[in-house]
Amino acid sequence: MNASLTRLGLLAFVLHLSAVHAAGGRKDTMLPEFEAMPQLVNGDPVNNGTYRFVTAILLHSTGTPSIADLHCGGSLVKARYVVTAAHCVVDDTGAPLSPSDLTVVTNMTSFGLNQGQSHGVRAFTLHPQYDHATYAYDVAVIELDSKVRNPAKLKLPQTGSDQSKYMATVAGWGSIVGYVKDQIPMPPSYKLPGLRQIELPIVTDQLCSDEYTQDNGPLYEPSTMLCAYTQGRGLCAGDDGGPLFRNVNGKMTLLGIVSFYHGCAQENAPGVYTRITNPEIKGFITGVIGQ
């Protein structure tokens, strides 16, 4: 991918450096200081059990789930199926990973507290139109090797429904260090064990089209992508594949999949999400999961 584009990693959020982590009662490790670090992104802690449909996808994990193995996020949509970004299940060249390299953890709010259920991956399916160079149709469905016990699932939205001007939530674990596109040196990621959330508005297609042009990375395609943004808060390294969702008629509903963006909570640079209301995207998901 273009060097100026940073893949989304799990949500970047800031805590006060001396704050006690709510889930574990431990003091957070002091953040390193970075020269010319533009900002830190802010998020809110998630209470245990609140968003059990958010999953952690680990790479080359052995033993107890560890934040160090965090690779991507995902969304449980059926007891045995997780929706994520296609680029989360391929390598840097676009070649598929081995399912045996991946572990999916469900029903977890915080790493290190003996929470959740770990699952191997039986198989995964990429959207047939996925393009690794442009991130078009950036969606994949993972089949777990066992069903999730007592699953909390995200509902799929109505095809073609207009999501503009709504507030939505994005949630994940992840790096808390913000930076701008092309920053040198780029700060390393720094992850916290507890799930975080940001509420943010879905913004106009024009704002995204202005930011994502042919000259600076993948183009924004309104029919298959949507954007969400709020000043000073946002996504960072490792949040790829996680959900953008909102409450629709009393049901938590998946609207988007974290796909790509510029920098990390960079000003006027919305996060780009795979649009689930697109009929070719929703139809692909339902075709795999049998719904």
Q: What is the pLDDT of residues 165-188, one digit of tens each?
A: 789 999 988 765 554 455 455 555
- Average pLDDT score over residue span 29-39: 29
**Averaged confidence pLDDT in the chain:** 80
Structural domain including 237 reads: 6-46+156-277
Q: What is the pLDDT of residue 193?
A: 80
Q: Are residues 175 and 161 in the same domain?
A: yes
Q: Is 168 helix (H, G, I), strand (E, B) or coil?
A: strand
Domain contains 224: yes
Per-residue pLDDT tens digits for 63-121:
889 988 999 999 999 999 999 999 999 999 999 999 999 999 999 999 988 899 999 99
Residues in contact with 195: Cβ distance below 8 Å, sequence separation at least 6, in sequence order: 45, 46, 51, 54, 108, 109, 110, 171, 172, 173
Q: Among residues 165, 133, 145, 15, which one has the least CA distance to residue 79?
A: 145
Cα Rg of the chain, angstroms: 17
- pLDDT at position 184: 52
Cα 53 from chain centroid?
A: 12
Strand partners, 260: 7, 272
Q: Who contacts 13 (Cβ-Cβ below 8 Å, separation ≥6)?
A: 41, 42, 43, 44, 174, 176, 192, 196, 198
What is the predicted pLDDT for the residue at 234? 64
Domain-embedded: residue 1: no
Give yes or no: residues 39 and 160 share one domain: yes
Q: What is the spatial distance between Cα 40 and Cα 1, in angstroms, rounded to a whole number?
A: 25
Please indicate, yes or no, if residue 99 is contained in any of the structural domains. yes
pLDDT at 212: 83
| Domain CATH number, residue 248 | 2.40.10.10
Categorize the per-residue pLDDT at 263 as very low, low, confident or very high, splitting at 50, 70 and 90: low
Q: Give the number of domains in the chain.
A: 2
Query: pTM of this prediction?
Result: 0.81
Same domain, 160 and 263: yes
| Same-domain pairing of 253 and 112 | no
Choose among 250, 256, 269, 239: nearest CA to 7: 239
Average pLDDT over residues 189-211: 83
131-162 pLDDT, tens digit each: 999 999 999 999 999 999 999 999 999 998 77
